[in-house]
Amino acid sequence: MTLRVDLQIISDWIPDNAHVLDLGCGNGSLLKHLQQRNVTGYGLEIDNSKFSECIAGGVNVIQADLDEGLSQFGDQSFDFVILSQTLQAVKRPDFLLREIMRVGKQGIIGFPNFGHWQCRFQLGLRGKMPVSKNLPNAWFDTPNIHLCTLKDFEKLCDQYGFSVVSRSVVNHEHKDTLGIRLLPNLFGQIAVYLIHNGNS
């Protein structure tokens, strides 16, 4: 089974035997993949059909709404809390981010970069809300209600005192081009951050 681009990046950051919480875990493919390396933990998922896929795959999954926070989990109870491609779809990304860093020793957050040049082009020059491979929905029916750029996200982390341990920015083919290295906020389509509490 091949993992989605961002999930592969995340998987590489998680050591064997870690205890993780995967928020909005989808069909559980990341957790299933990590099981091979003795990584334990849970997925949270609200979508019925994705939830069923988790059960069918033997992945621990809790039906829960991320907008209600993570109050069922104790402080620092996971090595990693993962939120991939979901930050932009929650009601209060700031609240969830703080919850992630409360229950997790480290957080892994992946999201589509709204600062990508195609988004800027569509909005800035064509005057239309961007629609792309990573953001395929029209403005009126998109689940992505809180889009941000790399700069926006880093500013939010900074505001809460979360430091970026690692950052991976790629295009949708999982390629790290020269353009992305020079101007990630302009050429990167998917960003994945590894963050933790305090300065390091």
Q: Which stretch binds another protein (CB under 8 A): 30-38, 66-74, 83-91, 109-117?
A: 66-74
Point out which residues pair with 164 in neighbouring strands: 195
x-or-dash string of contact with another protein, 37-56, rule CB under 8 A: ---x-x-----x--xx-xxx
Q: Which of 187, 155, 149, 153 is nearest to 170 (CA)?
A: 187
Beta bridge partners of 63: 45
Per CB under 8 A, the list member of 60, 88, 122, 166 interacting with another protein is 60
Residue 88, amino acid: Q
Q: Which residues pair with 107 in a beta bridge?
A: 81, 195
Burial of residue 150 (CB within 10 Å: 0-12, 13-18, 19+) is buried
Question: Considering beta carbons, is residue 19 or 146 the nearer one to another protein?
Answer: 19
Nearer to another protein, 61 or 147 (CB): 61
**Site mask for another protein (CB under 8 A), range 106-145, x = bound:** ----------------------------------------
What is the x/- site pattern for another protein, positions 68-107, by CB under 8 A?
----xxx--x------------------------------
Among 107, 195, 104, CA closest to 155: 195
Helix (H, G, I), strand (E, B) or coil at 152: helix
Q: Comparing C-alpha atoms, which of 8, 40, 46, 4 is closest to residue 24?
A: 46
CB 62 → another protein: shortest distance, Å?
5
Q: Total residues at the site for another protein (CB under 8 A)? A: 20
Chain residues binding another protein by CB under 8 A are: 19, 40, 42, 48, 51-52, 54-56, 58-64, 72-74, 77
